[in-house]
């Protein structure tokens, strides 16, 4: 089975498009090499670097479960949106 390789930049762009959001700020700033570092988001150990990114409507951050990694988000402002348990599992 081929390995799945990605970057936080490509995953962040995908998450922002999914949420119809607009990126306002990221820490570390976009353009930093960390965003372009390729890693395997599959099971094993966490490889992606920590970050926080603020969109117009949501805050984005890395999540992991059993070594798998992906981007989670939460509303930027108080809302009635209910969030599931973060980090995977049931």
Residue-wise pLDDT tens digits, 24-52: 999 999 999 999 999 888 877 788 889 99
| Mean pLDDT on 85-89 | 72
Q: What is the pLDDT of residue 1?
A: 46
pTM of the predicted model over 0.85: yes
3: in domain: no
pLDDT at 2 > cutoff 60? no
HSE toward the beta carbon, residue 2, CA cutoff 13 A: 3
Range of the domain at 58: 8-75
Q: What is the pLDDT of residue 18?
A: 96
Q: How many domains does the structure of the chain reveal?
A: 1
Give the C-alpha separation, 61 to 53, whole Å. Answer: 7
pLDDT at 90 > cutoff 60? no
37: in domain: yes
For the chain, the DSSP string reads: -PPP-B-HHHHHHHHHHHTT--EEEEESPTTSGGGG--B--SSSS--SPP-EEEESSEEEEEEEETTEEEEEEEESS--SPPPPPSSS--
């Amino acid at each position: 089975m081929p390995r799945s390789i990605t970057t936080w930049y490509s995953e962040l762009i995908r998450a922002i498009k999914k949420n119809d959001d607009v990126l306002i700020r990221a820490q570390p700033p976009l353009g930093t090499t960390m965003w372009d570092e390729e890693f395997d988001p599959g099971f094993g150990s966490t490889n992606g670097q920590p970050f926080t990114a603020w969109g117009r409507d949501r805050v984005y951050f890395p999540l992991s479960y059993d070594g798998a990694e992906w981007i989670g988000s939460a509303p930027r402002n108080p809302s009635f949106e209910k969030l599931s348990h973060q980090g995977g599992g049931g």
